[in-house]
Amino acid sequence: MKDDKIKSLDMLFKPRNVVIFEAKQKVGYFIEGLKTQGFNLENLYLISPSKEEVSGLKCNDSFDDIPIDTIDLLILSVKRELVVQSLKEIFAKKKVKFIHFFTAGMGESDEEGLKIENQIREILENPEISTKAIGPNCFGIYCPSGKNAYMPFFPSESGNIALISHSGDMLSRSVGNGALIYNLRFSKGASIGNCVSLQVSDFLEYFNQDDETDIIFIYFEGFSRYEKREGRIFFNLMKEMRKPVLILRGGKTKRGQSAVLTHTGSLGTNEKIWDAIYKQTPLIEVGSSIEEIIDHLYLFNYFYKKNRNLALEEQISNFPKGKNALVIIWSGGIGIVDTDVLTELGFNLPLFDGNVKEKLMSIYQVKIGSLSNPLDLPWVSRSEKYLELCKVAISENIDLVIMHTDARFGRNLKKRLENLMKIKEYVESLNKMLILILPETPEKNRIRYYRALIENGFIVFPELKRAGKAYLSLYNYGKKISRMENKF
Amino acid sequence: MKDDKIKSLDMLFKPRNVVIFEAKQKVGYFIEGLKTQGFNLENLYLISPSKEEVSGLKCNDSFDDIPIDTIDLLILSVKRELVVQSLKEIFAKKKVKFIHFFTAGMGESDEEGLKIENQIREILENPEISTKAIGPNCFGIYCPSGKNAYMPFFPSESGNIALISHSGDMLSRSVGNGALIYNLRFSKGASIGNCVSLQVSDFLEYFNQDDETDIIFIYFEGFSRYEKREGRIFFNLMKEMRKPVLILRGGKTKRGQSAVLTHTGSLGTNEKIWDAIYKQTPLIEVGSSIEEIIDHLYLFNYFYKKNRNLALEEQISNFPKGKNALVIIWSGGIGIVDTDVLTELGFNLPLFDGNVKEKLMSIYQVKIGSLSNPLDLPWVSRSEKYLELCKVAISENIDLVIMHTDARFGRNLKKRLENLMKIKEYVESLNKMLILILPETPEKNRIRYYRALIENGFIVFPELKRAGKAYLSLYNYGKKISRMENKF
Q: Looking at residue A295, which CATH number applies to its domain?
A: 3.40.50.261
3-class state of residue B419 by DSSP: helix
**Phi, psi at residue B479, to the nearest 5°?**
-65, -45
Q: Is the peptide bond before A22 cis (omega within 30 degrees of 0)?
A: yes
A346 by DSSP, 3-state: which?
coil
Nearest to B367 among A104, A165, A219 (CB): A104
Q: Map residue B269 onto helix, strand or coil.
A: coil
Domain end marker among B269, B299, B329: B299
Q: How far is B428 from B426, CA to CA, in rounded Å?
A: 5
Confidence grade of residue B6 (pLDDT, cut at 50, 70, 90)? very low
Distances (CA, A) of B91 to A87, B83, B95: 95, 12, 6
Q: Tell me if A335 and B263 make a contact (CB, 8 A cut-off).
A: yes
Pairing assessment for the beta strands A70-76 and A18-21 based on DSSP bridges: parallel
Same domain? For B121 and B189 the reply is yes
Structure-derived torsion over alpha carbons of residues B28, B33, B36, B42, reported in degrees to the nearest 10: -70
Question: Do A318 and A295 share a structural domain?
Answer: no
In the predicted model, is pLDDT for residue B26 greater than 60? Answer: yes
For B344-367, what is the mean pLDDT?
Answer: 91
d(CA B488, CA B486): 5
3-class DSSP state of A27: helix
Q: Is residue A306 part of a domain?
A: no
Give yes or no for a contact between A470 and A347, defined as CB atoms under 8 angstroms apart: no
- The reported pLDDT for the residue numbered B431 is 93
In a domain, B308, yes or no: no
What pLDDT was estimated at residue B487?
Answer: 60
For residues A26 and A124, state if they share a domain. yes
- Is A331's CB within 8 Å of B440's CB? no
Q: How far is B310 from chain A (nearest CA, A)?
A: 34
pLDDT-based confidence at residue B411 (cuts at 50, 70, 90)? low
> A123-129 — which CB contacts under 8 Å span 24+ positions?
A123/A84, A123/A87, A123/A88, A123/A91, A124/A196, A124/A197, A129/A91, A129/A96
Q: What is the pLDDT of residue B12?
A: 98
Confirm if A162 and A185 have CB atoms less than 8 A apart: no
Residues paired with residue B47 on neighbouring β-strands, in sequence order: B21, B60
What is the C-alpha to C-alpha distance for residues B447 and A447, in angstroms, rounded to an integer?
14
Residue A178, pLDDT score = 95
Under an 8 A CB cutoff, do B259 and A167 touch?
no
- Which residues are paired to A348 by β-bridges? A324
Closest residue in chain B to residue A222, using alpha carbons only? B336
Residues A257 and A330 both lie in one domain: no
Q: How confident is the model at residue B369 (pLDDT cuts 50, 70, 90)?
A: confident
Is A367 part of any domain?
yes
- pLDDT at residue B7 in the model: 59
Per residue in A127-186, pLDDT tens?
888 999 999 999 999 999 999 999 999 999 999 999 999 999 999 999 999 999 999 999
Whether residue B224 is contained in a domain is answered as yes
pTM of the predicted model as reported, rounded to 2 decimal places: 0.94
Residue A282 · residue A245 · CB < 8 Å: yes
To 10 degrees, what angle do helices B413-429 and B444-455 make?
A: 30
Which burial class, exposed, middle or buried, applies to B70 when counting CB atoms under 10 A from its CB (0-12, 13-18, 19+)? exposed
| H-helix segments, B168-309 | 168-182, 200-209, 230-240, 254-261, 271-280, 290-307
CB contact under 8 A, B169 and A334: yes
- Per the DSSP assignment, residues forming a β-bridge with A297 are none
Q: Is the pLDDT of residue B169 over 70?
A: yes
Query: Comparing C-alpha atoms, which of B344, B345, B346, B398 is closest to residue B373?
Result: B398
Helix (H, G, I), strand (E, B) or coil at B160: strand
How far apart CA B435 and CA B424 sit, in angstroms, is 9
Q: Which of A299, A329, A351 is the last residue of a domain?
A: A299
Q: Average of pLDDT values for B142-148? A: 98
The pair phi, psi for residue A2, each rounded to 5°, is -65, -40
Indicate the residue among B267, B299, B331 that finishes a domain. B299
- pLDDT of B306: 93
Residues A373-405 have pLDDT tens digits of 999 988 777 788 889 999 999 988 999 999 998
Contacts with B170 from chain A: Cβ below 8 Å: 333-334, 337
Asked whether the beta carbons of B90 and B82 are under 8 A apart, the reply is: no
- Residue among A52, A50, A81, A60 at smallest CA distance from A18: A60
Q: Give the pLDDT of residue B242.
A: 87
Of B108, B171, B339, the CB nearest to A259: B339
Q: How close B93 gets to chain A, by Cα (Å)?
A: 29
State the Cα–Cα distance between residues A231 and A318, nearest whole angstrom.
32
**Measuring CA to CA, which residue among A267, A239, A220, A227 is closest to residue A481?**
A239
Range of B70's domain? 10-299
Using CB atoms, which residue from A253, A370, A408 is nearest to B344? A253
Residue B485 near residue A313, CB atoms below 8 Å: no
Give chain B positions within 8 Å (CB) of A173.
334, 439
Three-state secondary structure of B327-366: EEECCHHHHHHHHHHHHHHCCECCCCCHHHHHHHHHHHCC
Q: Which residues in chain B are contacts of A167 at CB distance < 8 A? A: 331-334, 336
Closest-CA residue of chain B to A334: B170
Task: Indicate yes or no: CB of B372 within 8 angstroms of CB of A176.
Answer: no
Q: Tally the domains of chain A.
A: 2
Query: Residue B367: is its pLDDT beyond 80?
Result: no
- The pLDDT assigned to A487 comes to 60
* A253 with B367: Cβ contact below 8 A: no
- Cβ A105–B26 below 8 Å, yes or no? no
Residue A213: pLDDT above 80? Answer: yes
3-state secondary structure of B141: strand
DSSP state at residue B265: -
Mutate which: B217, B336, B380, vs A, most A CBs within 10 A? B336
Which residues of chain A lie closer than 8 angstroms to B165, CB-CB? 333
Cis ω before B320 (30° cut-off from 0):
no
Interacting residues of A4 by C-beta distance below 8 A, sequence separation 6+ = none
Give all strands of the β-sheet with A370-371 in edge-to-edge order.
A370-371, A375-376, A325-329, A400-404, A433-437, A459-461
DSSP B213: -
**Same domain for B200 and B97:** yes
Mean model confidence pLDDT for chain B: 92
Q: Pick from A339, A176, A183, A373: which is nearest to B250 by CA?
A: A339
pLDDT in tens, A220-242: 999 988 999 999 999 999 999 98
Paired strand residues for A402: A327, A435
Question: Parallel, antiparallel, or unpaired for β B57-60 and B70-76?
Answer: unpaired
Which of the pair, B61 or B410, is modelled with greater confidence?
A: B61
Residues of B in contact with A166 (CB under 8 A): 333
Which CA distances in Å does B162 have to B141, B153, B165, B177?
Answer: 11, 17, 10, 15
CA atoms within 13 A on the CB side of B423: 33
- Cα–Cα nearest to B241, from B205, B213, B275, B277: B205
Domain assignment of residue B72, yes or no: yes
Q: How far is it, in rounded angstroms, from Cα A257 to Cα B336?
A: 8
Q: Is the pLDDT of residue A4 over 70?
A: no
**pLDDT in the model for residue B410:** 57
Residues B311, A148 contacting (CB under 8 angstroms): no
Choose the closest CB to A255 out of B170, B254, B339: B339
Phi then psi for residue B136, to 5 deg, are: -70, 180
A292 with A328, same domain? no
A447 plus A483 within the same structural domain: yes
CB burial of B29-61 (b: ≥16 within 10 Å; e: otherwise) equals: bbbbbbbbbebeeeebbbbbeeeeebeeeebbe
Give pLDDT, residue A411: 63
Q: Answer whether residue A346 is part of any domain.
A: yes
Say if residue A245 is in the same domain as residue A390.
no
Neighbours of B453 (CB within 10 A): 21
Q: What is the pLDDT of residues A39-54, one digit of tens each?
A: 999 999 999 999 999 9
Contact of A407 with A449, CB cutoff 8 Å: yes
Chain B's closest residue to A177, CA to CA, is B441
Amino acid occupying residue B308: R
Which residues does chain A have within 8 Å of residue B259's beta carbon, measured at their own beta carbons? Answer: 335-336, 339, 349, 372, 374
Residues A85 and A224 in one domain: yes
What is the interface size between A and B, counted as CB pairs within 8 Å? 200
Pair B238, B161 in one domain: yes
In A57-189, alpha helices (H): 80-93, 111-125, 168-182
The percent of residues above 70 in pLDDT, for chain A, comes to 97
CB atoms within 10 A of CB A293: 24
- For residue A203, give the amino acid letter: F
Amino acid at A207: F
> How far apart are the CA of A314 and the nearest CA of chain B, in angstroms?
35
* Same-domain pairing of A290 and A367: no
The reply to whether B181 and B114 lie within a common domain is yes
In a domain, B112, yes or no: yes
Determine the pLDDT at residue B409: 57
User: A368 to chain B: which residues are within 8 Å by CB?
Assistant: 104-105
Q: Is the pLDDT of residue A3 over 70?
A: no
Strands (DSSP E) contained in A108-167 are: 132-134, 140-142, 158-165
Q: How confident is the model at residue B1 (pLDDT cuts 50, 70, 90)?
A: very low
- What is the Cα–Cα distance from A238 to A259, expressed in whole angstroms? 27
Q: Identify whether B379 is part of a domain.
A: yes
Look at A436-450, B39-53, B274-288 and tell me which has the smallest mean pLDDT: A436-450
Distance from the Cα of B335 to chain A's closest Cα (Å) equals 8
pLDDT value of residue B257? 87
CB B464 to CB A109 under 8 A? no
pLDDT of A6: 45
ipTM of the complex: 0.92
Distance between CA atoms of residues A421 and B68, nearest Å = 51
Q: What is the mean pLDDT of chain A?
A: 92
Chain B residues inside the 8 Å CB shell of A104: 367-369
* Residues of chain B above pLDDT 70, percent: 97
Q: Give the integer Cα–Cα distance in Å for B246 and B145.
A: 23
Whether the pLDDT of residue B441 is over 50: the answer is yes
Element (H, E) at B134: strand B132-134
